[in-house]
Amino acid sequence: MIDETRAGLPAGVAAEVALDEVRRLRAGDRPIHGGRLFAYVYDPAVPGLDELAAAAHRESAHVNGLDPTAFPSLLAMENALVGAAGRVLGAGPGTTAPDVVGSVTSGGTESLILAVKTARDAHPEITAPRIVVPSSAHAAFAKAAHYLRVAMDVVPVSLDTLRPDPAAMAAAIRPETVLVACSAPSYAHGVVDPVAEIAAAAADAGVRCHVDACFGGWTLPYLRRLGEPVPAFDFAVPGVTSISVDLHKYAYAPKGVSVLLHRDASLRAPQYFAYADWPGYTMINPVIASTRSGGPIAAAYATVRHLGDDGYLRLATVTRDAVAGLADAVRAVDGLRLMAEPESTVVCFTATEDGPDLFVLVDELTARGWHTQPQLSYAGLPASVHLTVTASVAPRVGDFGPDLADAVAAALVAGPVRLPAELAALVGALTPDALTPELVEGLAAGLGMGDEPGGAPLPERMAVVNTLLDAAPPALRERLLVEFVGLLQRPTW
């Protein structure tokens, strides 16, 4: 006998009931609009833009990018997006990079994985390929190296400038190096690496150079047009062979769209994967996914067409002013200091010696409705607070300063987090391999990670969790977080 209550799916419900469930689940999320969330979302606060993107997404959601001949609409939109990204990044007719080509990917991580794969596969004779990256490079390079079995030579950034020394990058290039990478700007601190010097060193060694402009590639050129001192970082720089830029960041498209550009088609060639040695259709994929929804691509297309050059210039102006206002707010509070003078759309600050515990401060800001991103201390760099600034923040800047001052005062009164002695001793002594499921469950429970179905997965105040992670070396942080996330990812039956 089949137990009807256990087997199969529940019976269907009315459309409005299903949608209502989605809406109720969404109510527990961080606010994607309103300029109070400084990570994860990119909100230009342009009236009607969400509706436009949703309508375009709906038109193409079931269209499949697997076969451009079956759905030429997607091919046309992809080509237009690649052309637009090229124009923003110093390529196209009349430039020094007229032959740039590219692909639309699902996001920055996929673009970086493909940049590494393409560089690796251009050199099948190199049996143990390597890449050179600054320590500030996005973690997606490490993921690429891990997936693709490419070794990564990491060049530390200066603790003052937060940039790598180009000479050290050059010195790290070996005969097995297939790619040198740098960021414009780095995610963590928002600083632009010395792209021209790094690309020149790579070119001298006959190695490809990728500029990760996933975060800021769409804003830096507009900031330059507004008179900001943005250094050369795009295809105008000789030696730059590929660039990635995420449209789901500062092109303000909904999630799922990035562009990977190569200086010419011969550099792009090893990116493709083709397979005809099976009885089905011959598979030819420029990117990692095979079946691809047209939804995100159509949404990005409509967004870029609607905002246009004037729209992006206006949004960059608003964002630049918001960045300046937030940086002033940080400067005005005793106990905080900027990690770097803002040169893109990131404001990143840390605490001075007599300043507040940053993780407590982050909780105090959350309690005041400001959702910031704590960054753990790393290789001599102190813990910091990251603010990704978008145009939607502009009307809120005036409120941020007083709340920041208030939150700092409250954090100073609360004092720093002191881990219980046994927890601190445990983290000091633990190695990733020594973590047992019981230990992890015990730690998670001790840290207040909820396990009620549908309940909040994390405690309201995260300072203890962040302090614990901060006390752990990176390898243990990774393992702990993998285990914690594994605990959260459980089916609801």
Which residues bind to ligand PLP, rule: CB under 6 A? 107-109, 112, 138, 140, 183, 187, 212, 214-215, 246, 258
φ and ψ of 101, to 5 deg: -130, 170
Is the CB of 183 or the CB of 303 nearer to ligand PLP? 183
- 164: nearest Cα among 185, 142, 138, 135: 135
Q: Count of CB atoms within 10 A of residue 317's CB? A: 16
Q: Count of CB atoms within 10 A of residue 255's CB? A: 16
**DSSP 3-state assignment of 209?**
strand
- Classify the C-alpha dihedral 50-51-52-55 as positive or negative: positive
In the complex, the smallest distance separating the C-beta of residue 492 from ligand PLP, rounded to whole angstroms, is 26
In the complex, the smallest distance separating the C-beta of residue 114 from ligand PLP, rounded to whole angstroms, is 12
Contact between 313 and 226 under an 8 Å Cβ cutoff? The reply is yes
Is the CB of 212 or the CB of 403 nearer to ligand PLP? 212
Is the CB of 77 or the CB of 184 nearer to ligand PLP? 184
Question: 274: phi > 0 → left, psi -120 to 50 → alpha, else beta; which?
Answer: beta
Contact between 468 and 419 under an 8 Å Cβ cutoff? The reply is yes
Is the CB of 177 or the CB of 258 nearer to ligand PLP? 258
Distance CA 182, CA 209 (A): 8
- 318: nearest Cα among 412, 394, 242: 394
In the complex, the smallest distance separating the C-beta of residue 253 from ligand PLP, rounded to whole angstroms, is 11
In the complex, the smallest distance separating the C-beta of residue 161 from ligand PLP, rounded to whole angstroms, is 17
Could you tell me which residues come within 8 angstroms of residue 307 by beta carbon, excluding any fewer than 6 positions away? Answer: 44, 46, 49, 251, 252, 315
In the complex, the smallest distance separating the C-beta of residue 399 from ligand PLP, rounded to whole angstroms, is 26
In the complex, the smallest distance separating the C-beta of residue 177 from ligand PLP, rounded to whole angstroms, is 20
For ligand PLP, the nearest residue by Cβ is 108
> Residue 234 has which token pair?
């795009």
Exposure of 298 by Cβ count < 10 A (0-12 exposed, 13-18 middle, 19+ buried)? buried
Is the CB of 197 or the CB of 246 nearer to ligand PLP? 246
In the complex, the smallest distance separating the C-beta of residue 116 from ligand PLP, rounded to whole angstroms, is 12
Strand order in the sheet with 373-375: 336-338, 346-351, 384-388, 373-375
In the complex, the smallest distance separating the C-beta of residue 439 from ligand PLP, rounded to whole angstroms, is 30
Q: Which amino acid is at 70?
A: A
Is the CB of 78 or the CB of 212 nearer to ligand PLP? 212
Is the CB of 316 or the CB of 351 nearer to ligand PLP? 316
The beta strand positions in 300-402, using DSSP E, are 336-338, 346-351, 373-375, 384-388
Contact between 193 and 182 under an 8 Å Cβ cutoff? The reply is yes
Is the CB of 108 or the CB of 166 nearer to ligand PLP? 108
**DSSP 3-state assignment of 359?**
helix
User: In degrees to the nearest 10, what's the CA dihedral of 234, 236, 240, 244?
Assistant: 30
Chain Cα centroid distance, residue 487: 24
Is the CB of 114 or the CB of 469 nearer to ligand PLP? 114
In the complex, the smallest distance separating the C-beta of residue 142 from ligand PLP, rounded to whole angstroms, is 11
In the complex, the smallest distance separating the C-beta of residue 335 from ligand PLP, rounded to whole angstroms, is 28
Is the CB of 108 or the CB of 194 nearer to ligand PLP? 108
Is the CB of 246 or the CB of 364 nearer to ligand PLP? 246
In the complex, the smallest distance separating the C-beta of residue 309 from ligand PLP, rounded to whole angstroms, is 23
Distance CA 208, CA 178 (A): 7
